[in-house]
Structure 1
Amino acid sequence: MERAEADRGGLPAPGRGTGVAPLGAMLLAVAMLPGLVFFVGAASSLAVGTALAAGVVALLAAAYPNRLKPPLRTSATVFAALALAICFHLAVSSLFHPVEIGHALASFAPLLAVMIGGSALTATIETATDARIDSAMRLVFWSMCGVVVLQRTGFTPPFSDHYLKPYFPFTEPSHFVLAFMPVYTYVCIAASLPRRLALLGLGLVLILMLESLTLAVGWVVVVLSCTRGLTIPAVIAALLVGALSVVDLSYFVDRLDFSGGSQNLSTLVWLQGWQLTDEAFRITSGWGAGFQQLGLQGTNTDISRLIYVLVGDDANILDGGFGAAKLLSEFGVIGVGIIIGLTFLAGRSMLTLRTFARTPGSIPKASLFIHAVFVGYLVEMFVRGAGYFTGSAILLVAALHLRARLASRSRHTLSSPAVAA
């Protein structure tokens, strides 16, 4: 048993129950359901669909033999601590500005669902073989590639006319990218060098098909994570130059104009996120507006007013446009600490992936999943987000669980009498 755990990077050996939880179905639910529920108009954000996806994951995990109780106990403890901390933080925030307590408390339900779903996914990955993890991630990857191809064939499902650039079941390309990044990072690292180059080339094709600067940034993050030395980056740079030489770059150039005179909505939403952060820091003296309070009392920022003039809507003032803006606006200096912590973990994961880039078969697939999730979440944190409750949040909870359990097992191994002797 100890040898089997060592081969999996310290995680428990796969269970030997007669049934095996369908990891591929779980990951597909996490990737697709949040967007689907939003797409059909059943919710005004991704939170309801994310909670539904978490429920599906939990039900599938509970139906099969696994080690579900330990991560669930951990999640219950963490949720209780978070709930108390959030309530205290809100109470202090109310001293600075009006706070809608009911709105915050209503968000405890999807928060708990995300933590339960992440726990269930943790238990399933712990009991899965490398081959099952690999096949599940590839299933999600090719399914999401199929989403893009299907849309380009002219497929127009119901409700499509409600959105500017839908990619069913996603209402916009950026929501597709949020679900795609962890999976794309995984398959690129896991691939042999020739296949990796082909997958990176496919990523360029998807960038051009989606016309997504968010995916372009994510693609660069993946390249930095899975290449070492100079040869491969040189080949990739040549591919990029070749691809860009045959397309109209105006779409991407417009989004790189960060001047105050830009009228590109994507750029304005990103800049608005920083102005919302500055406004919240000034009003609350750096304490933060409180959990789920961003935008509820409106805003008086210059860019928010410009966006309203352009589109007649207060676009993205509730989610901040990207994860860091929402965390900073709602939790102030505490949000700074959270962002630094997550960025540090993502940076370590990127370095680990670069180390294994030349020998992808030597890293356990559960560990690869952990690192791919952290690296992929960088895009949601700093480029484009959709609030706290997305499919990526479920994956992040699972990655945090698995990483903590790995660290705990490593400490236990180092302190055991056999090792000490």
Structure 2
Amino acid sequence: MTLPEQTSTGLPTDSDGYAGRAMLLTALASVIMIPFAALFIADASSTTPGLMVACGLVGAAGILGLYRFEGGRRWTATLTILSITLFGVIFHSVVAALFESGDVIRAIGALIATVAVFITAYLISLIIRQTSLATLDKVAKTFSICFVAIAALSILDIQPPHTGYSKPIFPFTEPSHFALSFTPFLVYRVVRSSLIVRITWLGIAMLLALLLQSLSLVIGVAVAAACCLSGPILISALIGLSAVIGYLDISYFTDRLDFSTNTTNVSTLVYIQGYELIGTSLKETFGWGIGFQQLGIVPLNVPTSDLIYRIVGNDANIRDGGFTAAKLISEMGIFGIAATFVYLYASAICVLRLRQTAGKSEADARMILCLSAIVGIFIEIFVRGGGYFTGTILFAISATMIAIEEGYFKVARSVAS
């Protein structure tokens, strides 16, 4: 794989050819698809086993020389951040154990997985850096088309036989998982497109959300629209959508937005449970948190958990908190709150940068891809998460590594004002 080249006009050329394109496609597909495919095919208990397999594949590709490993300052910085993170998590968990005794083996296993995720994130950041801008653009657009095809197959009920899932979207077990993975590439696609094309893509994604009955994807479309549409166009789109909604059956979505005390919708209850877990964990540990990967292990008596158990017969989503911010804050306490606010600040900057570059063909594809990956996990953080060890989280970490070094978080004053 060669370094990016440019023509005399400054526009990137596809200098990598099919080999470079295949390497990036394989790396991203591995970390994004395999974790959920393991849930679908092998009934894995979480996305962690599949993600570890994907990490191994990305590492093996480097050993085989399919991309160039780079050490030096970047590698040293990655190891330094990883070491600080591990020390902080271990120290936090030791103190948390004074409040509640947890599962030490589970915590150790999670720390090992954290090391694998950080190293793989660094390797994928290398692959992204070593890929030309034109190739990056083609790969990201290919992903967006593939996700539409995956959704279409589900809508047509063309799926591998599996009786355990009511709405499978192979390789995803449910529409929310599909939405989490699709959103970063939807954001990229609309930001890189002309106005007519981006509205078309937003329309296609909204249609898929309605047909798949996925509130997570509806929110993903909203995030993408916020990244690429001007205020007047966004308001016009909302007015048009409001006029059309009156003719559609949206009871599925309104049920999930019913947060009253009488609701029996499991998805809504899981979301409410997340907030109750935050409140209970902070109260019982005086804001410290129950410890890394201890949610669902350390007993937290919240009313909604009992109701969910009576309805479905198990503790649905209690280990992942329902959404990642709930898990992070419940386990890491005030540090989780701080991390959540840091993400909110970073994602707001990313949205401003994306709005600044929307529709500009000369915009840096690498910057847009990285910012889209960071914004794309907004749903995972605040709406419907799968824990810490998902491919989209890993992808966002890779993007953050590049964004920090390249200064992508700097916003022009005219845009921020």
Does 2:100 match 1:79?
Answer: no
Q: What's the counterpart of residue 93 of structure 2?
A: 90
Which is worse superposed, 109-118 or 92-101? 109-118
Q: Which residue identity lines up with residue 195 of structure 1 in the other structure?
A: V
How far apart are 1:408 and its partner, in Å?
10
Q: What's the counterpart of residue 104 of structure 2?
A: 101
Secondary structure (helix, strand or coil) at the match of 1:161 reads: coil
Q: What's the counterpart of residue 226 of structure 2?
A: 224
> Structure 2: how far apart are the matches of 1:15 and 1:119?
23
How far apart are 1:2 and its partner, in Å?
13
Secondary structure (helix, strand or coil) at the match of 1:162 reads: coil
1:195-206 equivalences under 5 Å are 195-206=197-208
Which is worse superposed, 52-61 or 348-357? 52-61
Unpaired runs of 5+ residues, structure 1, are 411-421
How far apart are 1:66 and its partner, in Å?
3.0
1:181-200 equivalences under 5 Å are 181-200=183-202
Does 2:165 match 1:148?
Answer: no
> Structure 2: how far apart are the matches of 1:119 and 1:15?
23
> Structure 2: how far apart are the matches of 1:49 and 1:2?
31
Decide whether the 8 Å contact of 2:290 with 2:298 is kept in 1. no
How far apart are 1:234 and its partner, in Å?
4.1
Q: What's the counterpart of residue 377 of structure 1?
A: 377
Secondary structure (helix, strand or coil) at the match of 2:336 reads: helix
> Structure 1: how far apart are the matches of 2:340 and 2:260?
26
Which string of whole-angstrom CA distances, capped at 9 and with x for unpartnered residues, describes residues 361-382 of structure 1?
2320110011111211111111
Decide whether the 8 Å contact of 1:130 with 1:364 is kept in 2. yes
Q: What's the counterpart of residue 273 of structure 1?
A: 274
> Structure 1: how far apart are the matches of 2:324 and 2:85?
18
Secondary structure (helix, strand or coil) at the match of 1:132 reads: helix
Decide whether the 8 Å contact of 2:181 with 2:392 is kept in 1. yes
> Structure 2: how far apart are the matches of 1:408 and 1:171?
34
Q: What's the counterpart of residue 418 of structure 1?
A: none
Q: What's the counterpart of residue 414 of structure 2?
A: none
Secondary structure (helix, strand or coil) at the match of 1:317 reads: coil
1:164 maps to which of 144, 153, 166: 166
Q: What's the counterpart of residue 415 of structure 1?
A: none
1:175 maps to which of 171, 174, 177: 177
Does 2:393 match 1:390?
Answer: no
> Structure 1: how far apart are the matches of 2:251 and 2:67?
53
How far apart are 1:17 and its partner, in Å?
11
Decide whether the 8 Å contact of 1:373 with 1:395 is kept in 2. yes
Which string of whole-angstrom CA distances, capped at 9 and with x for unpartnered residues, describes residues 170-217 of structure 1?
111111111111111111101111111110110111111111111111
Counterparts in 2 of 1:339 and 1:246: CA distance versus 1, 3 Å? same
> Structure 2: how far apart are the matches of 1:379 and 1:65?
31
Secondary structure (helix, strand or coil) at the match of 2:42 reads: coil
Does 2:265 match 1:264?
Answer: yes
Q: Which residue identity lines up with residue 324 of structure 1 in the other structure?
A: A
Q: What's the counterpart of residue 330 of structure 2?
A: 329
How far apart are 1:19 and its partner, in Å?
6.0
Decide whether the 8 Å contact of 2:256 with 2:268 is kept in 1. yes
Q: What's the counterpart of residue 311 of structure 1?
A: 312
Decide whether the 8 Å contact of 2:349 with 2:409 is kept in 1. no
How far apart are 1:268 and its partner, in Å?
0.5
Does 2:124 match 1:121?
Answer: yes
Q: What's the counterpart of residue 415 of structure 2?
A: none
Counterparts in 2 of 1:65 and 1:390: CA distance versus 1, 3 Å? closer
Counterparts in 2 of 1:16 and 1:375: CA distance versus 1, 3 Å? closer
Decide whether the 8 Å contact of 1:189 with 1:196 is kept in 2. yes
> Structure 2: how far apart are the matches of 1:206 and 1:60?
34
Decide whether the 8 Å contact of 1:257 with 1:267 is kept in 2. yes
Q: What's the counterpart of residue 138 of structure 1?
A: 141
> Structure 2: how far apart are the matches of 1:368 and 1:151?
29
Q: Which residue identity lines up with residue 55 of structure 2 in the other structure?
A: A
> Structure 2: how far apart are the matches of 1:409 and 1:379?
20
Secondary structure (helix, strand or coil) at the match of 2:333 reads: helix
Q: Which residue identity lines up with residue 141 of structure 2 in the other structure?
A: R
Which is worse superposed, 47-56 or 327-336? 47-56
Q: What's the counterpart of residue 299 of structure 1?
A: 300
Q: Which residue identity lines up with residue 66 of structure 2 in the other structure?
A: Y
Counterparts in 2 of 1:409 and 1:173: CA distance versus 1, 3 Å? closer
How far apart are 1:15 and its partner, in Å?
8.7
Secondary structure (helix, strand or coil) at the match of 1:393 reads: helix
Q: What's the counterpart of residue 236 of structure 1?
A: 237
Q: Count matched residues.
A: 404
Secondary structure (helix, strand or coil) at the match of 1:107 reads: helix
Unpaired runs of 5+ residues, structure 2, are 411-417
How far apart are 1:222 and its partner, in Å?
1.1
Scaled by the length of structure 2, the TM-score of the pair is: 0.90
Decide whether the 8 Å contact of 2:180 with 2:380 is kept in 1. yes
Which is worse superposed, 286-295 or 81-90? 81-90
Decide whether the 8 Å contact of 1:29 with 1:53 is kept in 2. yes
Which string of whole-angstrom CA distances, capped at 9 and with x for unpartnered residues, describes residues 288-316 of structure 1?
00100011033311100000011111011
Which string of whole-angstrom CA distances, capped at 9 and with x for unpartnered residues, describes residues 215-274 of structure 1?
1112111111111141x2244225423542332111011111111211111111001000
Which string of whole-angstrom CA distances, capped at 9 and with x for unpartnered residues, describes residues 9-60 of structure 1?
9xxx999899636212222222211110111125210111112222223333
How far apart are 1:81 and its partner, in Å?
1.9
Which is worse superposed, 190-199 or 26-35? 26-35
Which string of whole-angstrom CA distances, capped at 9 and with x for unpartnered residues, describes residues 330-369 of structure 1?
0000011101111111000001111112x42232011001
Secondary structure (helix, strand or coil) at the match of 2:377 reads: helix
Counterparts in 2 of 1:315 and 1:135: CA distance versus 1, 3 Å? same
Counterparts in 2 of 1:378 and 1:244: CA distance versus 1, 3 Å? same
Q: What's the counterpart of residue 45 of structure 1?
A: 46
> Structure 2: how far apart are the matches of 1:8 and 1:259?
56
> Structure 1: how far apart are the matches of 2:231 and 2:152?
33
- Residue identity over aligned pairs, in percent, reads 33
Q: Which residue identity lines up with residue 146 of structure 1 in the other structure?
A: A
Q: List 4+ stretches of structure 1 deviating above 4 A.
A: 1-4, 13-19
> Structure 2: how far apart are the matches of 1:293 and 1:236?
43
Counterparts in 2 of 1:14 and 1:121: CA distance versus 1, 3 Å? farther
Q: Which residue identity lines up with residue 86 of structure 1 in the other structure?
A: V
Counterparts in 2 of 1:161 and 1:262: CA distance versus 1, 3 Å? same
